[in-house]
Amino acid sequence: MRLWTGIIIKESANVNTFLSLFGNLGHYGKNKVEWAVMNWFAFEYPWITVLFIPLVYCLYRCKEKPVGSYFVHLQWFSPKVGRWRWIVTVLTLMALVLALSSPVRIDKNSKNNRAGRDIVLVLDGSGSMGTLGFSKKHRESRFETLQRLAHDFVLGRIDDNIGVVYYGDFAFIASPVTYENRIVAEMIDYLSDAMAGQNTAIGEGIAMSVRALEHSKARSKVVILFTDGEHNSGRIAPKEAVAHARQQQIKIYTVGIGDDALDEGLLKQIAHESGGTYFFASDAAALQAIYEKIDALERSPIKSSEYLRKEYLYTYLLAVALALMSILLYTRKKSL
């Protein structure tokens, strides 16, 4: 038994129509409507609610018997008392019955039919990424700027699966491809420059990103490679890694950071051969603009597991019932 709240909207087109009735609410307003669709109230034991009807009937029709009992004074529930006490009594019973039915609010954030991409961020952690002065607003290194913007980028990817690869002398998967963007963002925060050595193994980074997308079912698979240097380490050549990416239909978008020792020719070639695009970021503002351009990539249906969360609400109903019973007790004592 599910009691839906708000308006049931099954298609994005209907969401847009709904929003148009209330003016231009913007992206935030649309998200609020979609949140209402993904949340509803339900009872775990709905059959208990039928007890409310006989209880109210008995409260109104059943006669009291002057027999000693260990139960509460039944005259408190008599319909002969004041009308307002009768209403309070009925509300008390209703709150208790509903609490016994175990109401829950279900957050069903289904990922089964999302439109998005599988994205792997490949972050350069070589020694040169520790150079300061890349950001004009923050006193931070190139890697810290990249890390901060990557964190924000990941949190903004509501419909995408995202993973992270970190490389220096060698490469490793810092976070597998997943829709849990908050966990991915936290993993990015744990990284620091030179964790994998001082050199730049671009081929290793690309090869590891292809491995991270090995089981991807998305039509749009994207690798975003960041570096401020040139390939000078690792056992896998960039050309070999790019060929493997092409076989898996993976686009590689390369981003050059800074202008010292940057091998733009190689980055352009990697992007061109894989069907991606090369971007150059001279400072933090330019890097932010590149993130926004990448956000305009095509979207495609992707599959992942369903996330279901329950919030139990019976405690609120018990609190209401206790408050109403306190009122009945207080007024009963005053009338004695």
Quick one: tokens of 256? Answer: 């050059």
In DSSP terms, which residues pair with 221 in a beta bridge? 118, 250
Quick one: tokens of 279? Answer: 């971007």
Q: Contact 311/288 with Cβ under 8 angstroms?
A: no
User: In terms of C-beta density within 10 A (0-12 exposed, 13-18 middle, 19 or more buried), how is residue 170 classed?
Assistant: middle
Q: Contact 111/315 with Cβ under 8 angstroms?
A: no
Among 20-29, 34-43, 194-203, the range with the most confident prediction by mean pLDDT is 194-203
Q: Could you tell me the pLDDT band of residue 245, with boundaries at 50, 70 and 90? A: very high
Three-class secondary structure of residue 281 per DSSP: strand
Least confident of 34-43, 98-107, 135-144, 225-234: 34-43
pLDDT at 89: 83
- Which domains does the chain show, CATH number per domain? 2-109+307-335 (no CATH), 114-302 (3.40.50.410)
| CB-based contacts of 282, cutoff 8 Å, min separation 6 | 258, 259
Average pLDDT, the chain: 78
Q: How far, CA to CA in Å, does 60 sit from each of 70, 72, 89, 158?
A: 21, 17, 11, 54
CA nearest to 271, candidates 311, 301, 227: 227
Q: Contact 159/115 with Cβ under 8 angstroms?
A: yes
| CB-based contacts of 193, cutoff 8 Å, min separation 6 | 125, 126, 127, 129, 130, 141, 142, 143, 144
Three-class secondary structure of residue 326 per DSSP: helix
Say which residue, 308 or 262, is predicted with more confidence.
Answer: 262
Q: Contact 168/229 with Cβ under 8 angstroms?
A: no
pLDDT at 302: 62
Question: How many C-beta neighbours within 10 Å does residue 68 have?
Answer: 4
In angstroms, rounded to a whole number, what is the distance separating the alpha carbons of residues 263 and 25?
45
Amino acid at 119: I
Least confident of 89-98, 128-137, 260-269: 128-137
Q: Contact 142/277 with Cβ under 8 angstroms?
A: no
Q: Dihedral sign, CA of 204, 210, 196, 188?
A: positive
Least confident of 5-19, 81-95, 238-252, 255-269: 5-19
Amino acid at 332: R
In angstroms, rounded to a whole number, what is the distance separating the alpha carbons of residues 293 and 288?
9
Q: Contact 283/135 with Cβ under 8 angstroms?
A: yes
Amino acid at 166: Y
Q: Is residue 35 pLDDT above 50, yes or no? A: no
Q: How far, CA to CA in Å, does 220 sit from each of 56, 147, 276, 297?
A: 60, 24, 12, 9
pLDDT tens-place string over residues 185-204? 999 999 998 899 999 999 99
- Estimate to the nearest angstrom the gap between the alpha carbon of 71 and the chain centroid: 50
pLDDT at 166: 97
| pLDDT average, residue stretch 275-290 | 86
% of the chain surpassing 90 pLDDT = 35
User: In terms of C-beta density within 10 A (0-12 exposed, 13-18 middle, 19 or more buried), how is residue 305 classed?
Assistant: exposed
